[in-house]
Amino acid sequence: MISSLRTPTPTEDPERPLRGKLSSHTRRDFVRGVAAAGASTAGAVALGGTGLDLFGETALANSRSNGFGHFEAIAASSGDALEVPEGFRAQVLISWGDPFRDRKGRTHRYGFNNDFLAFFPLDRRGEGLLFVNHEYPDPFFIHGYKPDGAAKTPEQVQLEKDAVGNSIVHVRRRSGGGWKVVSPSPYNRRIYGDRPELDFTGPLAGAAGVGVTANGSVANCSGGVTPWGTALSCEENFDDFGVDVEADAADAYGWKQFGGSPADAEYDSETQAKYGWVCEHDPYDPHGVGRKHTALGRFRHENTAFRHEPGKRFVLYMGDDKANECVYKFVSDRRFRRRDPEGNRRILESGRLYVARWEPEGRRRFAAAGDTDPVTATEGRGIWVPVPVAALADTAAKLREQFGDDEYDTHFATNRPEDLEVAEDGSVFIALTNNSTVNDSHGSVRRLRERGNDPEALAFSWRDYAAGGPTGGDEGAEGFSSPDNLVFDRAGNLWVVTDISSSRLNGDNEYAYHRNNAMFMVPTSGPNKGVAFRFANGPVQCELTGPWFTPDEQTLFVNVQHPGEQTGNASDAPGVFGLEQTYTSWWPEGDRSRGDNPAMPKPSTVAITRIPRRRR
C-alpha cells in the first residue's frame, strides 16, 4: 500500500524558545549515542561473537527490532512524491535556500544537493545537530544557466560556491514527534566552496600543490562519523569544479575559467591538490577549523566507515567512486582512547593506507547489460597492499602506473564503490553500484571479512552478499538496483538507497522495473534474510541519500538529492528558467505527476517517523 505523505515545513509552526548556551552537550553523549545505536554506520563496537553468521548461509533468529523493522513494502512508483509505507510520515525539515541563523543573527542558507547527513545528539530527549554535505551545484536551478558553452559571470560562480560545502543545523524533536530547525542557534553554520580555510594535516601538508590550507571544500558526497564525535566529509568529484565549461558538459563548472579571482586557479585538479580529500569537522565547536587529512589519500572519496576495537589500531574503510577504481583501508598509527580527546584528534594524521587486491578478480562482469547472472566469481579472497606515500596526492593514477593496466583492472578495479559500512560483527559491506564497462547494470552489495576478524589484518575473504536487479517477484520486493548509501539499524537490518542515473530512470531500458530511485530494507538474518523490501520512493529524477537513524531509532533522516535533475542539465533540456511548468519535478512544494502546484524542485532533508497510533 502506498501513502504519499507530506507534513508542514517547520516555518509553518511557531518557534519554541531557544536554549541559549553551549552548555553541557558533550562528546560523551555522542559516544553513548553511537553505542546505543548498536552498529549503525559507525560500526562502533564490535560485539565479538554475538553478531551475524558470516559466510554460513544459515539465517539466525533475530528478536531485536526497532520502530522501522516492520512495514508493508510499497510498490515502485514514477510519481513526483516522497512515498513511505502506511503508518509512517515524511516531513520536509529543511530545503535548499532555507535560512537558518547563528547566535549573532547572521543568516545562513541551506545548500544545494544535500548528500551525507549525520545526527550528533545534544541530549537524550531529541535535540541535536545535523551535519550535512552539499555535493554539487545545479547551475540551472541556481541562476538559470544551461551547459551550452556560454560564459558564466563571476557572480554566477559565486552563487555556486555558496550552494556547496556543508551545513551544521541545530534541530529539535517536537512533542508530536516531528522535527524543527532551531534558529537562531550558536551551532548553526556553513562551510562553502571557497571559505573558510581548512588546514591540511599529514605527510603532504605543506607539499607543493597542497600547501598548508585550502579555501573551503567541494564535492562533499557522503562521509562518516568518528567515535570522538567529529564528522568526516568526503570530497568526491573534485575535478569537476576547475574544468572548463564546454557545450553539454553538465559536470564542468568552470570556476577557474569564470571565477574572477586568482584563488580560483586552485580548483584546477591537474596542477593543484587542494580538493579530493577527507575533511574532518567538529559540529559541536562553532569555532572549529576543518582539517583535510592527506594520509587518507586523494581520490574520489565516497565515504568512510570506521572500526575500532580494544587493543587494536583505528581503522577506516573508504571507496573511490569511479568505474574500475578501488577499495581502501587506512590503519592509523594510533589507537582510539575514550579519555584522550587530544590524541584522538590526531588519529587520522598518520598511519598506513592500503588498497584491496581481489582474487580471482575485483569486478563483477556480465555478458550483456541488464544481465543478472555474472560470468565472474561471486566470492574469493584478497590482500591489502600498502600504498606508497608518493601515491597519496593522486592515488588511483599512481597505483595504476605502479601495477600496470592488466594487473590493476583484474585485481584492484571494482564496480564503483559507493558506501562502505561496518556491520556489528566487524564485516564490511560495500555498495558496488554499477559499471557499464563490464555490463554491470544493477550492482551488488559485497561483504568483506578480515582474516581472523582482525581489523589490522592484511588478508580478507569476500562474498557478493546481495545482488541488484529484478531479483524478486512480489510487489515491494522486486529488488534494488545501483546501491549507493548504506546504513545498519540496531537490529542488523541493512538499509540501502539507490542511485540509478536520472537520465536512465523510467526509460525503456533495464531499469524500467525499478521506476524512481528508492530506499530498501534488507534483513541480514531471519527468514527474509537478503530480501530487499521497498520502504520509500523518491520524487522524480532524485536519488535518496544519507539515511541516518537517531540514536533511539525513532526517526530516520534522509536527503532527497537532485529532484528534477534533467530540467536544465543539457543545452536542449526542457527547462525554461522561471517557468515552473517546464520543470521535470515540482517536489516538495508541488507534485508534477498530479499536476499539483508547479514549483521549483528543491533538494531537501526529510525526517521519517512512525505516526503515533492515536493519530492514524
Q: Which residues bind ligand FEO (CB under 6 A)?
A: 115, 135, 221, 236, 302, 321, 418
Judged by CB under 5 A, the chain residues 472 through 511 that form the site for Ca ion are 484, 499
- Distance CA(272)–CA(260), nearest Å, equals 18
Q: How far is CA 141 from CA 9, 137, 574, in A?
A: 21, 9, 13
Q: Which residue is nearest to ligand FEO (CB)?
A: 221
Residue of 135, 280, 418, 421 that binds Ca ion (CB under 5 A): 418
Q: Between 93 and 221, name the residue whose CB sits nearer to ligand FEO.
A: 221
Out of Ca ion, ligand FEO, none, what residue 162 binds, judged by CB under 5 to 8 A for its kind, is none
Phi, psi of 464 (to 5 degrees): -75, 110
Query: Cβ 595 to Ca ion, closest distance in Å?
Result: 30
Return the one option of Ca ion, ligand FEO, none that residue 591 interacts with (CB less than 5 to 8 A, by type): none
DSSP state, residue 75: P
C-beta of 302: minimal distance to ligand FEO in Å?
4
**Among the residue ranges 39-47, 157-165, 385-393, 416-424, the one whose residues contact Ca ion (CB under 5 A):** 416-424
Q: Closest CB to Ca ion among 440 and 484?
A: 484
Select 335 or 504, whichever has its Cβ closest to ligand FEO.
Answer: 504
Q: Are 583 and 598 in contact (CB under 8 A)?
A: yes
Contact in structure between 202 and 163 (CB atoms under 8 Å) = no
Q: Pick from Ca ion, ligand FEO, none: which does 239 bind, CB < 5 to 8 A by kind?
A: none
CB of 544 to ligand FEO, least distance (A): 12
Q: Confirm if 102 and 188 have CB atoms less than 8 A apart.
A: yes
Answer whether 140's CB lies under 8 Å from 157's CB.
no
Distance CA 470, CA 473 (A): 8
- Taking the complex as a whole, the smallest distance from the CB of residue 251 to ligand FEO amounts, in Å, to 11
Q: Which CB, 234 or 295, lies closer to ligand FEO?
A: 234
Task: List the one residue out of 344, 432, 356, 447 whose CA is nearest residue 53.
Answer: 447
| Closer Cβ to ligand FEO, 80 or 135, answer by number | 135
In the chain, what is the greatest distance between 2 CA atoms, to the nearest angstrom? 64
Residue with smaller CB distance to ligand FEO, 162 or 543: 543
Look at residue 135 and give the partner it binds from Ca ion, ligand FEO, none, a contact being a CB closer than 5 to 8 Å depending on partner kind. Answer: ligand FEO
529-550: b (≥16 Cβ within 10 Å) or e:
bbbbbbbbbbbbbbbbbbbbbb
Residue 325, binding choice from ligand FEO, Ca ion, none, Cβ under 5 to 8 Å by partner class: none
Cβ distance to ligand FEO smaller for residue 44 or 430:
430
Q: How far is the CB of 431 from Ca ion (least distance, A)?
A: 8
Our CB check for ligand FEO shows the closer of 238 and 255 to be: 238
To ligand FEO, the closest distance from the beta carbon of 236 in angstroms equals 5
**Residue 268 touching Ca ion (CB under 5 A):** no
CA distance 131 to 306: 18
309 forms part of the interface with Ca ion (CB under 5 A): no
- Give the residue closest to Ca ion by C-beta: 499
Q: How far is CA 214 from CA 137, 197, 242, 272, in A?
A: 19, 5, 14, 11
- With DSSP H G I counted as helix, E B as strand and the rest as coil, what are the percentages for the chain, rounded to 5? 15, 30, 55
Closest CA to 327 of 199, 156, 207, 445: 445
Residue pair 550/68 in contact (Cβ under 8 Å)? The answer is: no
| Total residues at interface with Ca ion (CB under 5 A) | 3
CB of 324 to ligand FEO, least distance (A): 14
Shortest Å distance, C-beta 509 to Ca ion: 18
Q: Which of 245, 246, 222, 249 shows the shortest CA–CA distance to 233?
A: 222
Residue type, 342: E
CB 275 within 8 A of CB 217: yes
Which residue's CB is nearer to Ca ion, number 257 or number 545?
Answer: 545
Residue 138 binds Ca ion, judged by CB under 5 A: no
Judged by beta carbon, residue 135 or residue 565, the one nearer ligand FEO is: 135
CB nearer to Ca ion: give 391 or 487. Answer: 487
Phi-psi region of 105 (alpha: psi -120 to 50; beta: other; left: phi over 0): left
Q: Identify the sign of the CA torsion 34, 36, 41, 44.
A: positive
Close Cβ partners of 363 (under 8 Å, ≥ 6 residues apart)? 324, 376, 409, 413, 414, 415, 435, 438, 440
Q: How near is the Cβ of 604 to ligand FEO at its closest, in Å?
A: 17
Least distance CB 303 / Ca ion (angstroms) = 7
Residue 565 touches Ca ion, criterion: CB under 5 A: no
264 binds, among Ca ion, ligand FEO, none (CB under 5 to 8 A by kind): none
Q: How far is the CB of 415 from ligand FEO (least distance, A)?
A: 12
Which whole-number Å values give the CA distances from 160 to 241, 333, 502, in the listed order?
10, 38, 21
**Of ligand FEO, Ca ion, none, which one sits near residue 29, judging by CB under 5 to 8 A according to partner kind?**
none
Of 418 and 425, the one with the shorter C-beta distance to Ca ion is 418
CA 282 remoteness from chain centre: 18
464's contact among ligand FEO, Ca ion, none, with CB below 5 to 8 A by partner kind, is none
- The site partner of 132 among Ca ion, ligand FEO, none (C-beta below 5 to 8 Å per kind) is none
Please give the DSSP secondary-structure letter assigned to residue 548: E
421 binds, among Ca ion, ligand FEO, none (CB under 5 to 8 A by kind): none
104, 537 contact by CB (below 8 A): no
98's contact among ligand FEO, Ca ion, none, with CB below 5 to 8 A by partner kind, is none
Nearest-CA neighbor of 150 among 238, 241, 258, 243? 258
Q: Which is nearer to ligand FEO, 135 or 510 (CB)?
A: 135
Distance spanning both ends of the chain, measured CA to CA = 15
Per partner kind, with CB cut-offs from 5 to 8 A, the member of Ca ion, ligand FEO, none near residue 565 is none
Alpha-carbon torsion (443, 89, 506, 133), positive or negative: negative
The interface partner of residue 236, options being Ca ion, ligand FEO, none and the CB cut-off 5 to 8 Å by kind, is ligand FEO
Q: For the CB of residue 561, give the shortest distance to ligand FEO in the complex, in Å.
A: 9
How many other C-beta atoms lie within 10 A of the C-beta of residue 233? 35
The nearest distance, CB 198 to ligand FEO, in angstroms, is 20
CB of 54 to ligand FEO, least distance (A): 27
Q: Using the rule CB under 5 A, is 325 a contact of Ca ion?
A: no
Residue 129 or residue 420: which is nearer to ligand FEO going by CB? 420
The SS3 of residue 609 is: strand
Residues of this chain that interact with Ca ion (CB under 5 A) are 418, 484, 499
